[in-house]
Each structure stands twice: as structure tokens, then as C-alpha cells.
Amino acid sequence: MAWSSSNRDARFNPGWERTRKRILERDHYRCQWIVTDWHTGAKHICGYSANEVDHKVRAKNGEPDDDSPSNLWALCPYHHSQKTAQESAEQRRMNRERRKEEQWYSHPAFQ
């Protein structure tokens, strides 16, 4: 997607910068992504330097995002891009299924 045509800023509430700063400070500017140690299986936070704030659960169907502190976390650029890629792949899969269903029911036999 070209960022020049993106409307992502329209999703942010007017106080987003203040909220973002609060979350980064709460999380001590450290990535909160949960990682699993390959050798021991122990789980811990990433802990790398974080400068991005992300919604843990993104709003569905055009609803506004939940900007409550419990739904926000600081992420490093790597984990933020990983999460965004996962969400994008899931959205593309859902769009594909929806288009396939719409195409099926647009067949003349169903008209």
C-alpha cells in the first residue's frame, strides 16, 4: 500500500500523541512482545528499545480502535512490523474468502 494514499492517520484520536507517550513511558520504552526461548521454552518480553505503540487487538469492521491503556503496548520496529504483517495476511485471507463467496452468489443461477 502506498503511504501517500493511506488514511491510517484518520483512525487516531486527537489525543493520540499524548496517549502514545504515556504508553511508551509506562513500558519504559521497551518492547513488550512475548518471545519464547528456543532452548528452555521460557517466555519473556523482548525488551529491545521500543518507539512504536500498537493496539493489541485491532478494531473490526471500521469501528474505532480501543485506545485504552490495557489494549496498547510498546513494540520495537521489528515486532511491530511482524504483527502488522500477520494482521495484513489475515485481512487479505478474509477479503479473498469474501470475494470468492460474493462471486459464487453473483452467478446467474442465484439471480
CA–CA separation, 53 vs 21, rounded Å? 9
Query: Is residue 68's pLDDT more than 90?
Result: yes
Query: Is residue 73's pLDDT more than 80?
Result: yes
- What pLDDT sits at residue 20? 97
Exposure class string for 59-83: b at 16+ Cβ within 10 A, else e: eeeeeeeebeeeebbbbbeebbeeb
Q: From residue 11, give the alpha-carbon distance in Å to each of 16, 35, 86.
A: 10, 29, 19
Q: By mean pLDDT, which of 7-16, 45-54, 102-111 is the weakest?
A: 102-111
- What pLDDT sits at residue 101? 74
CA–CA separation, 11 vs 60, rounded Å? 12
Q: Can you give the pTM of this predicted structure? A: 0.76
- What pLDDT sits at residue 59? 85
